[in-house]
Structure 1
Protein backbone atom coordinates (compact mmCIF):
# COMPACT_ATOMS: atom_id res chain seq x y z
CA UNK A 1 0.00 0.00 0.00
CA UNK A 2 1.43 3.39 -1.01
CA UNK A 3 1.84 6.30 1.42
CA UNK A 4 -1.00 8.13 -0.34
CA UNK A 5 -3.32 5.16 0.11
CA UNK A 6 -2.39 4.83 3.78
CA UNK A 7 -3.07 8.55 4.28
CA UNK A 8 -6.43 8.33 2.52
CA UNK A 9 -7.43 5.48 4.86
CA UNK A 10 -7.20 7.82 7.86
CA UNK A 11 -8.84 10.83 6.20
CA UNK A 12 -12.56 11.10 7.08
CA UNK A 13 -15.00 10.49 4.24
CA UNK A 14 -15.73 13.76 2.52
CA UNK A 15 -19.27 15.02 3.14
CA UNK A 16 -18.90 18.45 1.59
CA UNK A 17 -16.62 18.78 -1.42
CA UNK A 18 -17.62 15.78 -3.58
CA UNK A 19 -21.35 16.62 -3.42
CA UNK A 20 -20.49 20.18 -4.50
CA UNK A 21 -18.32 18.92 -7.39
CA UNK A 22 -21.05 16.55 -8.58
CA UNK A 23 -23.73 19.22 -8.31
CA UNK A 24 -21.59 21.65 -10.31
CA UNK A 25 -20.88 19.18 -13.10
CA UNK A 26 -24.51 18.02 -13.24
CA UNK A 27 -25.54 21.63 -13.81
CA UNK A 28 -22.70 22.03 -16.32
CA UNK A 29 -24.18 19.18 -18.36
CA UNK A 30 -27.60 20.86 -18.11
CA UNK A 31 -26.14 24.10 -19.48
CA UNK A 32 -24.60 22.23 -22.41
CA UNK A 33 -27.87 20.36 -23.06
CA UNK A 34 -29.90 23.57 -22.85
CA UNK A 35 -27.54 25.40 -25.20
CA UNK A 36 -27.75 22.52 -27.66
CA UNK A 37 -31.53 22.66 -27.35
CA UNK A 38 -31.54 26.43 -27.91
CA UNK A 39 -30.07 26.09 -31.38
CA UNK A 40 -32.74 23.59 -32.44
CA UNK A 41 -35.58 26.11 -32.14
CA UNK A 42 -36.57 29.43 -33.70
CA UNK A 43 -35.06 32.69 -32.46
CA UNK A 44 -38.40 33.56 -30.82
CA UNK A 45 -38.54 30.28 -28.89
CA UNK A 46 -34.86 30.44 -27.96
CA UNK A 47 -35.30 33.01 -25.18
CA UNK A 48 -36.71 30.43 -22.76
CA UNK A 49 -33.58 28.29 -23.19
CA UNK A 50 -31.26 31.28 -22.79
CA UNK A 51 -33.02 32.31 -19.57
CA UNK A 52 -32.51 28.78 -18.23
CA UNK A 53 -28.80 29.02 -19.04
CA UNK A 54 -28.64 32.32 -17.11
CA UNK A 55 -30.10 30.55 -14.06
CA UNK A 56 -27.83 27.52 -14.29
CA UNK A 57 -24.69 29.62 -14.69
CA UNK A 58 -25.62 31.63 -11.59
CA UNK A 59 -26.15 28.38 -9.67
CA UNK A 60 -22.69 27.10 -10.62
CA UNK A 61 -21.22 30.44 -9.57
CA UNK A 62 -22.91 29.95 -6.18
CA UNK A 63 -21.46 26.41 -5.89
CA UNK A 64 -18.03 27.89 -6.64
CA UNK A 65 -18.57 30.36 -3.80
CA UNK A 66 -19.75 27.61 -1.40
CA UNK A 67 -16.71 25.47 -2.23
CA UNK A 68 -14.33 28.28 -1.34
CA UNK A 69 -16.22 28.88 1.91
CA UNK A 70 -15.81 25.20 2.78
CA UNK A 71 -12.09 25.43 2.01
CA UNK A 72 -11.78 28.24 4.54
CA UNK A 73 -13.71 26.26 7.18
CA UNK A 74 -12.15 22.81 6.83
CA UNK A 75 -8.60 21.85 7.72
CA UNK A 76 -8.82 18.32 6.30
CA UNK A 77 -9.69 18.03 2.60
CA UNK A 78 -10.01 14.93 0.36
CA UNK A 79 -7.05 16.10 -1.73
CA UNK A 80 -4.81 19.18 -2.07
CA UNK A 81 -6.56 22.45 -1.27
CA UNK A 82 -5.06 24.10 -4.35
CA UNK A 83 -6.42 21.30 -6.55
CA UNK A 84 -9.90 21.78 -5.10
CA UNK A 85 -9.69 25.52 -5.74
CA UNK A 86 -8.45 25.10 -9.33
CA UNK A 87 -10.93 22.31 -10.14
CA UNK A 88 -14.07 24.19 -9.12
CA UNK A 89 -12.76 27.38 -10.73
CA UNK A 90 -12.12 25.55 -14.01
CA UNK A 91 -15.63 24.02 -13.99
CA UNK A 92 -17.04 27.51 -13.45
CA UNK A 93 -14.96 28.77 -16.41
CA UNK A 94 -16.58 26.22 -18.75
CA UNK A 95 -20.01 27.40 -17.60
CA UNK A 96 -19.01 31.05 -18.04
CA UNK A 97 -18.00 30.53 -21.67
CA UNK A 98 -21.07 28.51 -22.64
CA UNK A 99 -23.15 31.22 -20.95
CA UNK A 100 -21.11 33.75 -22.94
CA UNK A 101 -22.02 32.03 -26.19
CA UNK A 102 -25.70 32.05 -25.23
CA UNK A 103 -25.52 35.73 -24.26
CA UNK A 104 -23.95 36.64 -27.61
CA UNK A 105 -26.73 34.79 -29.45
CA UNK A 106 -29.21 36.99 -27.58
CA UNK A 107 -27.20 40.22 -27.86
CA UNK A 108 -26.54 39.91 -31.60
CA UNK A 109 -29.98 38.49 -32.40
CA UNK A 110 -28.50 35.46 -34.14
CA UNK A 111 -31.18 33.89 -36.26
CA UNK A 112 -29.48 31.41 -38.59
CA UNK A 113 -27.65 28.62 -36.76
CA UNK A 114 -24.70 27.42 -38.82
CA UNK A 115 -23.38 23.87 -39.01
CA UNK A 116 -20.25 25.03 -37.16
CA UNK A 117 -22.22 26.43 -34.22
CA UNK A 118 -24.22 23.22 -34.12
CA UNK A 119 -21.07 21.08 -34.18
CA UNK A 120 -19.33 23.08 -31.44
CA UNK A 121 -22.34 22.82 -29.13
CA UNK A 122 -22.35 19.04 -29.72
CA UNK A 123 -18.64 18.84 -28.89
CA UNK A 124 -19.10 20.88 -25.71
CA UNK A 125 -22.04 18.74 -24.63
CA UNK A 126 -20.02 15.55 -25.01
CA UNK A 127 -17.03 17.11 -23.21
CA UNK A 128 -19.23 18.24 -20.29
CA UNK A 129 -20.72 14.75 -19.99
CA UNK A 130 -17.18 13.35 -19.78
CA UNK A 131 -16.25 15.96 -17.17
CA UNK A 132 -19.18 14.78 -15.06
CA UNK A 133 -18.00 11.18 -15.38
CA UNK A 134 -14.42 12.07 -14.45
CA UNK A 135 -15.41 14.23 -11.48
CA UNK A 136 -17.79 11.55 -10.18
CA UNK A 137 -14.87 9.09 -10.13
CA UNK A 138 -12.87 11.40 -7.85
CA UNK A 139 -14.99 10.21 -4.92
CA UNK A 140 -12.76 7.50 -3.47
CA UNK A 141 -10.25 7.75 -6.32
CA UNK A 142 -10.55 4.03 -7.04
CA UNK A 143 -11.08 3.95 -10.80
CA UNK A 144 -8.13 5.94 -12.12
CA UNK A 145 -8.44 4.42 -15.59
CA UNK A 146 -11.98 5.77 -16.02
CA UNK A 147 -10.77 9.26 -15.09
CA UNK A 148 -7.83 9.11 -17.49
CA UNK A 149 -10.01 7.70 -20.30
CA UNK A 150 -12.45 10.59 -19.89
CA UNK A 151 -9.56 13.08 -19.95
CA UNK A 152 -8.11 11.59 -23.15
CA UNK A 153 -11.51 11.84 -24.86
CA UNK A 154 -11.94 15.47 -23.73
CA UNK A 155 -8.54 16.37 -25.17
CA UNK A 156 -9.50 14.81 -28.51
CA UNK A 157 -12.76 16.75 -28.52
CA UNK A 158 -10.90 20.00 -27.87
CA UNK A 159 -8.64 19.32 -30.87
CA UNK A 160 -11.74 18.65 -32.99
CA UNK A 161 -13.26 21.94 -31.79
CA UNK A 162 -10.13 23.82 -32.90
CA UNK A 163 -10.47 22.38 -36.40
CA UNK A 164 -14.18 23.24 -36.59
CA UNK A 165 -13.55 26.79 -35.34
CA UNK A 166 -10.66 27.50 -37.72
CA UNK A 167 -12.65 26.28 -40.73
CA UNK A 168 -15.74 28.21 -39.66
CA UNK A 169 -13.83 31.49 -39.33
CA UNK A 170 -12.09 30.94 -42.68
CA UNK A 171 -15.47 30.30 -44.30
CA UNK A 172 -16.90 33.45 -42.73
CA UNK A 173 -14.22 35.70 -44.17
CA UNK A 174 -14.40 34.00 -47.54
CA UNK A 175 -18.16 33.83 -48.04
CA UNK A 176 -19.75 36.53 -45.83
CA UNK A 177 -19.79 40.07 -47.20
CA UNK A 178 -21.69 41.70 -44.31
CA UNK A 179 -19.17 42.88 -41.70
CA UNK A 180 -21.82 42.82 -38.97
CA UNK A 181 -22.53 39.14 -39.62
CA UNK A 182 -18.81 38.34 -39.55
CA UNK A 183 -18.48 39.99 -36.16
CA UNK A 184 -21.52 38.42 -34.52
CA UNK A 185 -20.91 34.88 -35.78
CA UNK A 186 -17.21 35.03 -34.92
CA UNK A 187 -18.11 36.16 -31.40
CA UNK A 188 -20.45 33.20 -30.88
CA UNK A 189 -17.97 30.75 -32.40
CA UNK A 190 -15.11 32.13 -30.26
CA UNK A 191 -17.10 31.68 -27.04
CA UNK A 192 -17.98 28.09 -27.97
CA UNK A 193 -14.39 27.27 -28.91
CA UNK A 194 -13.11 28.82 -25.69
CA UNK A 195 -15.57 26.68 -23.73
CA UNK A 196 -13.96 23.59 -25.27
CA UNK A 197 -10.52 24.92 -24.24
CA UNK A 198 -11.80 25.27 -20.68
CA UNK A 199 -13.10 21.68 -20.81
CA UNK A 200 -9.54 20.63 -21.64
CA UNK A 201 -8.31 22.60 -18.60
CA UNK A 202 -10.70 20.62 -16.39
CA UNK A 203 -9.41 17.39 -17.91
CA UNK A 204 -5.80 18.38 -17.20
CA UNK A 205 -6.65 19.09 -13.55
CA UNK A 206 -8.54 15.80 -13.19
CA UNK A 207 -5.58 13.93 -14.64
CA UNK A 208 -3.15 15.64 -12.26
CA UNK A 209 -5.31 14.79 -9.24
CA UNK A 210 -5.66 11.18 -10.38
CA UNK A 211 -1.90 10.77 -10.92
CA UNK A 212 -1.11 12.26 -7.50
CA UNK A 213 -3.35 9.71 -5.79
CA UNK A 214 -2.70 6.63 -7.92
Structure 2
Protein backbone atom coordinates (compact mmCIF):
# COMPACT_ATOMS: atom_id res chain seq x y z
CA UNK A 1 0.00 0.00 0.00
CA UNK A 2 1.40 3.36 -1.07
CA UNK A 3 1.63 6.43 1.12
CA UNK A 4 -1.60 7.85 -0.31
CA UNK A 5 -3.39 4.58 0.36
CA UNK A 6 -2.16 4.49 3.96
CA UNK A 7 -3.23 8.11 4.46
CA UNK A 8 -6.68 7.42 2.98
CA UNK A 9 -7.05 4.39 5.27
CA UNK A 10 -6.81 6.59 8.37
CA UNK A 11 -9.16 9.34 7.12
CA UNK A 12 -12.52 9.00 8.86
CA UNK A 13 -15.41 7.88 6.64
CA UNK A 14 -17.04 10.99 5.21
CA UNK A 15 -20.50 11.61 6.59
CA UNK A 16 -20.92 15.18 5.43
CA UNK A 17 -20.15 15.75 1.77
CA UNK A 18 -21.31 12.58 0.02
CA UNK A 19 -24.83 12.65 1.52
CA UNK A 20 -25.12 16.30 0.49
CA UNK A 21 -23.92 15.58 -3.03
CA UNK A 22 -26.40 12.72 -3.33
CA UNK A 23 -29.17 15.04 -2.16
CA UNK A 24 -28.10 17.59 -4.77
CA UNK A 25 -27.95 15.09 -7.64
CA UNK A 26 -31.23 13.48 -6.57
CA UNK A 27 -32.80 16.92 -6.62
CA UNK A 28 -31.45 17.37 -10.16
CA UNK A 29 -33.44 14.37 -11.36
CA UNK A 30 -36.61 15.82 -9.87
CA UNK A 31 -36.12 19.20 -11.49
CA UNK A 32 -35.20 17.56 -14.81
CA UNK A 33 -38.38 15.47 -14.70
CA UNK A 34 -40.38 18.58 -13.82
CA UNK A 35 -38.89 20.40 -16.83
CA UNK A 36 -40.05 17.62 -19.15
CA UNK A 37 -43.53 17.71 -17.62
CA UNK A 38 -43.47 21.49 -18.06
CA UNK A 39 -42.63 21.54 -21.79
CA UNK A 40 -45.09 18.71 -22.53
CA UNK A 41 -47.99 20.19 -20.55
CA UNK A 42 -50.91 21.17 -22.78
CA UNK A 43 -52.84 23.07 -20.14
CA UNK A 44 -51.51 26.53 -19.25
CA UNK A 45 -52.67 26.30 -15.63
CA UNK A 46 -50.84 22.99 -15.25
CA UNK A 47 -47.73 24.55 -16.75
CA UNK A 48 -47.91 27.33 -14.15
CA UNK A 49 -48.15 24.71 -11.36
CA UNK A 50 -45.12 22.84 -12.66
CA UNK A 51 -43.24 26.12 -12.99
CA UNK A 52 -43.73 26.68 -9.27
CA UNK A 53 -42.46 23.16 -8.55
CA UNK A 54 -39.34 23.87 -10.62
CA UNK A 55 -38.76 27.11 -8.73
CA UNK A 56 -39.08 25.31 -5.37
CA UNK A 57 -36.67 22.58 -6.45
CA UNK A 58 -34.16 25.18 -7.62
CA UNK A 59 -34.35 26.87 -4.20
CA UNK A 60 -33.82 23.48 -2.54
CA UNK A 61 -30.73 22.97 -4.70
CA UNK A 62 -29.42 26.38 -3.63
CA UNK A 63 -29.81 25.37 0.02
CA UNK A 64 -27.91 22.11 -0.48
CA UNK A 65 -25.11 23.94 -2.33
CA UNK A 66 -24.91 26.49 0.47
CA UNK A 67 -24.63 23.66 3.01
CA UNK A 68 -21.78 22.06 1.04
CA UNK A 69 -19.90 25.37 1.04
CA UNK A 70 -20.50 25.73 4.80
CA UNK A 71 -19.06 22.26 5.37
CA UNK A 72 -16.01 23.19 3.29
CA UNK A 73 -15.40 26.08 5.69
CA UNK A 74 -15.78 23.92 8.79
CA UNK A 75 -13.91 20.73 7.82
CA UNK A 76 -10.14 20.49 7.51
CA UNK A 77 -10.22 16.95 6.07
CA UNK A 78 -12.28 16.45 2.92
CA UNK A 79 -12.87 13.27 0.87
CA UNK A 80 -11.22 14.85 -2.19
CA UNK A 81 -9.68 18.17 -3.20
CA UNK A 82 -11.51 21.20 -1.87
CA UNK A 83 -11.40 22.80 -5.32
CA UNK A 84 -13.12 19.76 -6.83
CA UNK A 85 -15.80 19.77 -4.13
CA UNK A 86 -16.47 23.43 -4.84
CA UNK A 87 -16.45 22.91 -8.62
CA UNK A 88 -18.80 19.90 -8.52
CA UNK A 89 -21.26 21.61 -6.17
CA UNK A 90 -21.22 24.71 -8.39
CA UNK A 91 -21.75 22.69 -11.58
CA UNK A 92 -24.71 20.81 -10.10
CA UNK A 93 -26.18 24.09 -8.87
CA UNK A 94 -25.70 25.65 -12.32
CA UNK A 95 -27.62 22.80 -13.99
CA UNK A 96 -30.60 23.48 -11.72
CA UNK A 97 -30.27 27.23 -12.30
CA UNK A 98 -30.46 26.91 -16.08
CA UNK A 99 -33.35 24.45 -15.91
CA UNK A 100 -35.20 26.98 -13.79
CA UNK A 101 -34.09 29.75 -16.14
CA UNK A 102 -35.46 27.88 -19.15
CA UNK A 103 -38.89 27.44 -17.56
CA UNK A 104 -38.87 31.04 -16.32
CA UNK A 105 -38.16 32.39 -19.81
CA UNK A 106 -41.01 30.38 -21.27
CA UNK A 107 -43.36 31.86 -18.67
CA UNK A 108 -42.02 35.42 -18.83
CA UNK A 109 -42.08 35.49 -22.63
CA UNK A 110 -45.58 33.93 -22.63
CA UNK A 111 -44.51 31.28 -25.12
CA UNK A 112 -47.38 28.82 -25.65
CA UNK A 113 -46.08 26.50 -28.37
CA UNK A 114 -43.30 24.12 -27.34
CA UNK A 115 -41.36 23.19 -30.48
CA UNK A 116 -39.79 19.74 -31.04
CA UNK A 117 -36.25 21.10 -30.40
CA UNK A 118 -37.36 22.52 -27.03
CA UNK A 119 -38.88 19.18 -26.05
CA UNK A 120 -35.84 17.24 -27.26
CA UNK A 121 -33.39 19.49 -25.40
CA UNK A 122 -35.47 19.11 -22.21
CA UNK A 123 -35.28 15.34 -22.69
CA UNK A 124 -31.49 15.51 -23.07
CA UNK A 125 -31.21 17.71 -19.97
CA UNK A 126 -33.05 15.05 -17.95
CA UNK A 127 -30.75 12.37 -19.39
CA UNK A 128 -27.76 14.44 -18.26
CA UNK A 129 -29.23 14.87 -14.78
CA UNK A 130 -29.76 11.11 -14.47
CA UNK A 131 -26.18 10.37 -15.50
CA UNK A 132 -24.78 13.00 -13.13
CA UNK A 133 -26.71 11.31 -10.32
CA UNK A 134 -25.46 7.84 -11.28
CA UNK A 135 -21.86 9.05 -11.19
CA UNK A 136 -22.22 11.07 -7.99
CA UNK A 137 -23.62 8.08 -6.10
CA UNK A 138 -20.49 6.09 -6.96
CA UNK A 139 -18.04 8.78 -5.80
CA UNK A 140 -18.27 7.80 -2.14
CA UNK A 141 -16.11 4.70 -2.47
CA UNK A 142 -14.74 4.78 -6.06
CA UNK A 143 -15.24 1.01 -6.33
CA UNK A 144 -17.40 1.19 -9.46
CA UNK A 145 -15.19 3.45 -11.53
CA UNK A 146 -16.70 2.04 -14.75
CA UNK A 147 -20.13 3.37 -13.75
CA UNK A 148 -18.68 6.87 -13.32
CA UNK A 149 -16.70 6.82 -16.56
CA UNK A 150 -19.63 5.41 -18.56
CA UNK A 151 -21.90 8.11 -17.17
CA UNK A 152 -19.38 10.81 -18.07
CA UNK A 153 -19.05 9.43 -21.61
CA UNK A 154 -22.85 9.47 -22.02
CA UNK A 155 -22.98 13.05 -20.72
CA UNK A 156 -20.35 14.15 -23.25
CA UNK A 157 -22.27 12.43 -26.04
CA UNK A 158 -25.52 14.00 -24.86
CA UNK A 159 -23.95 17.47 -24.85
CA UNK A 160 -22.71 17.00 -28.42
CA UNK A 161 -26.20 15.98 -29.49
CA UNK A 162 -27.65 19.03 -27.71
CA UNK A 163 -25.19 21.30 -29.55
CA UNK A 164 -26.37 19.90 -32.88
CA UNK A 165 -30.06 20.29 -32.01
CA UNK A 166 -29.46 23.85 -30.80
CA UNK A 167 -27.49 24.89 -33.88
CA UNK A 168 -30.01 23.31 -36.24
CA UNK A 169 -33.00 24.84 -34.44
CA UNK A 170 -31.45 28.33 -34.41
CA UNK A 171 -30.57 28.01 -38.10
CA UNK A 172 -34.18 27.11 -38.88
CA UNK A 173 -35.42 30.04 -36.80
CA UNK A 174 -33.36 32.48 -38.84
CA UNK A 175 -34.50 30.87 -42.07
CA UNK A 176 -38.21 30.47 -41.44
CA UNK A 177 -39.31 32.67 -38.50
CA UNK A 178 -40.51 36.01 -39.83
CA UNK A 179 -41.51 37.46 -36.45
CA UNK A 180 -38.33 38.99 -35.00
CA UNK A 181 -39.70 39.04 -31.44
CA UNK A 182 -40.71 35.37 -31.60
CA UNK A 183 -37.28 34.51 -33.01
CA UNK A 184 -35.54 36.19 -30.06
CA UNK A 185 -37.82 34.48 -27.53
CA UNK A 186 -37.25 30.99 -28.92
CA UNK A 187 -33.51 31.52 -29.31
CA UNK A 188 -33.23 32.59 -25.65
CA UNK A 189 -35.17 29.52 -24.47
CA UNK A 190 -33.11 27.17 -26.62
CA UNK A 191 -29.91 28.81 -25.38
CA UNK A 192 -30.83 28.29 -21.71
CA UNK A 193 -31.65 24.63 -22.32
CA UNK A 194 -28.44 24.06 -24.25
CA UNK A 195 -26.43 25.74 -21.49
CA UNK A 196 -27.97 23.33 -18.97
CA UNK A 197 -26.45 20.47 -20.98
CA UNK A 198 -23.10 22.31 -20.95
CA UNK A 199 -23.27 22.41 -17.15
CA UNK A 200 -23.89 18.66 -17.08
CA UNK A 201 -20.65 18.28 -19.03
CA UNK A 202 -18.90 20.57 -16.53
CA UNK A 203 -20.00 18.25 -13.72
CA UNK A 204 -18.75 15.24 -15.68
CA UNK A 205 -15.37 16.91 -16.23
CA UNK A 206 -15.00 17.55 -12.50
CA UNK A 207 -15.81 13.91 -11.70
CA UNK A 208 -13.31 12.69 -14.27
CA UNK A 209 -10.71 14.92 -12.62
CA UNK A 210 -11.56 13.39 -9.24
CA UNK A 211 -11.07 9.91 -10.71
CA UNK A 212 -7.66 10.81 -12.10
CA UNK A 213 -6.54 12.17 -8.72
CA UNK A 214 -8.01 9.50 -6.46
CA UNK A 215 -8.67 6.24 -8.30
**Normalization by structure 1: what TM-score?**
0.98
Instruction: Confirm or deny that 1:50 pairs with 2:51.
Output: yes
- C-alpha change, 1:90 and 1:161, in structure 2 (3 Å) is same
Q: Aligned partners of 1:90 and 1:78: how far apart in 2?
A: 18
- Correspondence list, 1:174-185, <5 A: 174-185=175-186
Q: Aligned partners of 1:126 and 1:166: how far apart in 2?
A: 19
Structure-2 residue corresponding to 1:151: 152
Instruction: Confirm or deny that 1:101 pairs with 2:87.
Output: no
In the TM superposition, what is the alpha-carbon distance from 1:108 to its structure 2 partner? 0.5
- C-alpha change, 1:65 and 1:160, in structure 2 (3 Å) is same
Structure-2 residue corresponding to 1:10: 10
Structure-1 residue corresponding to 2:78: 77
Give runs of ≥4 in structure 1 deviating > 6 Å. none
Counterpart secondary structure, 1:12: coil
Q: Deviation string for 1:108-161 (max 9, x for gaps)?
A: 111001000010001010010000000000011111111111101100000000
Counterpart secondary structure, 2:40: coil
Counterpart secondary structure, 1:14: coil
Q: Aligned partners of 2:3 and 2:152: how far apart in 1?
A: 25
In the TM superposition, what is the alpha-carbon distance from 1:44 to its structure 2 partner? 2.9
Counterpart secondary structure, 1:177: coil
Q: Aligned partners of 1:103 and 1:5: how far apart in 2?
A: 47
Q: Aligned partners of 1:55 and 1:170: how far apart in 2?
A: 34
**Normalization by structure 2: what TM-score?**
0.97
RMSD in angstroms over aligned alpha carbons? Answer: 0.9
In the TM superposition, what is the alpha-carbon distance from 1:6 to its structure 2 partner? 2.5
Q: Aligned partners of 1:5 and 1:147: how far apart in 2?
A: 21
Report the number of matched residues. 214
Q: Which moved more, 1:5-14 or 1:54-63?
A: 5-14
Q: Which runs of 5+ in 1 are unaligned?
A: none
- Correspondence list, 1:22-37, <5 A: 22-37=22-37
Q: Deviation string for 1:61-101 (max 9, x for gaps)?
A: 11111111111111111111111111101100111111110
Q: Which moved more, 1:53-62 or 1:39-48?
A: 39-48
The answer as to whether partners of 1:39 and 1:113 remain within 8 angstroms in 2 is yes
In the TM superposition, what is the alpha-carbon distance from 1:7 to its structure 2 partner? 2.2
The answer as to whether partners of 1:5 and 1:213 remain within 8 angstroms in 2 is no
Instruction: Confirm or deny that 1:124 pairs with 2:125.
Output: yes
Counterpart secondary structure, 1:116: helix
Q: Aligned partners of 2:22 and 2:105: how far apart in 1?
A: 28
